[in-house]
Amino acid sequence: MKRIWIDSGPDVAVMLVALAGLFILHLVAVDLSTPAVLGVWLILALVQARGLYVHARARRRLLLHAHVRFGSPLQRYLSGRLLMTLRTGLQAALLSALLLPFVIRLDQTAAWQLLLLHLPLAALARSWLGSALERHLSEHFLPLARWRFWLGLNLCLLVPLLALVSLYGRYPDLQESSLMTAISGEVALQQAQSELLLAALQFHAALDAGAWWLAQQLVPVAGLQVAGWLLLFGVKALFLWSYLLYLAGTLTLAMETRAWWRRNDGAD
């Protein structure tokens, strides 16, 4: 157990830096110009894309290893470099486009504290999953299984916790307002130096206001309220998925950097 704690140290450090980066972004993003916002978006997308790409490749390798003979040219054709890069790049670009406004609009101190407290748990889970799965899974499947289990475990932990924190949050009272009033009020509150970021923030604000409005309606049709809460949780789950992919991407990059460092160090 002591060893797991010690082994988790570097992972916690990496994720801490990643979270600190997001927090700084939360503080300063509204004053960034459009090129700076695009730069940040690109960095987030690249980090996520790296993690997604590495694990997509691992998955493909596993598939090829199981179904295609070694030495066949199909091994090369199906390794999926270009298409896989494009696909994961696009996926990462979309997810980071969601992550950016989410991080900026996360105006709840308790939610940030939750994300911080989650980091050591996430690192411990990663080490524990590594040692627990090592005994059962092949070395080809282990990294992929660890990545999937880690993402799933963290998502299952964070979604209810963040939803619980949100339940105790203060929201504008929209019971008496119309849907349009609720949305236009929340949209009007968004401010950003960059027009592009402003549009993204306004879109998210409209989505949030719609969900809050639905959740606060005291109509006899309970379906509306349920729809509101589902929308709220769904949106949160999407944000957390994107956030976890960002953390996973950071960990992958850190691991690769460490490996590269060791290689170079060893070569020297």
Report the Cα–Cα distance between both ends of the chain, in Å, rounded: 35
Q: How far is the CB of 248 from another protein (least distance, A)?
A: 19
Closest by alpha carbon to 245, among 13, 100, 48? 48
Among 109, 135, 138, 219, binds another protein (CB under 8 A): 109
Binding positions for another protein, 118-157, rule CB under 8 A: 119-120
Q: How far is the CB of 193 from another protein (least distance, A)?
A: 5
Question: Which region among 16-24, 72-80, 151-159, 217-225 touches another protein (by CB under 8 A)?
Answer: 16-24
Q: How far is the CB of 259 from another protein (least distance, A)?
A: 17
Tell me: does residue 21 bind another protein (CB under 8 A): no
Among 91, 184, 217, 225, binds another protein (CB under 8 A): 184
Question: Which region among 38-46, 52-60, 82-90, 98-106 touches another protein (by CB under 8 A)?
Answer: 98-106
Binding positions for another protein, 198-237, rule CB under 8 A: 208
Residue number, 54 or 122, with CB nearest to another protein: 122
Among 86, 156, 179, 188, binds another protein (CB under 8 A): 188
Where b means 16+ CB within 10 Å and e means fewer, 224-259 reads: beebbeebbbebbeebbbbbbbbbbbbbbbbbeeee
Encoding tokens for residue 117? 């407290």
CA distance 112 to 243: 12
Question: Which region among 52-60, 89-97, 145-153, 177-185 touches another protein (by CB under 8 A)?
Answer: 177-185
Q: Are 150 and 126 in contact (CB under 8 A)?
A: yes
Tell me: does residue 79 bind another protein (CB under 8 A): no
Where b means 16+ CB within 10 Å and e means fewer, 40-67 reads: bbeebbbbbbbbbbbbbbbbebeebeee
Among 4, 10, 225, 229, binds another protein (CB under 8 A): 10
Write the single-letter amino acid at 237: A
Q: How far is the CB of 181 from another protein (least distance, A)?
A: 5
Encoding tokens for residue 108? 């709840």
Q: How far is the CB of 100 from another protein (least distance, A)?
A: 14
- Annotate 119-181 with DSSP letters as a single string: HHHHHHHHHHHHHHHHTTS-TTTHHHHHHHHHHHHHHHHHHHHHHHHHHTS-----SSS-HHH
Q: How far is the CB of 212 from another protein (least distance, A)?
A: 9
Write the single-letter amino acid at 115: L
CA distance 78 to 194: 42
Three-state secondary structure call for residue 81: coil
Q: Give me the residues that bind another protein (CB under 8 A), please.
A: 5-7, 9-10, 12-13, 16-17, 19-20, 23, 27-28, 30-31, 102, 105-109, 111-113, 116, 119-120, 166, 169-172, 176-178, 181, 184-186, 188-189, 191-193, 208
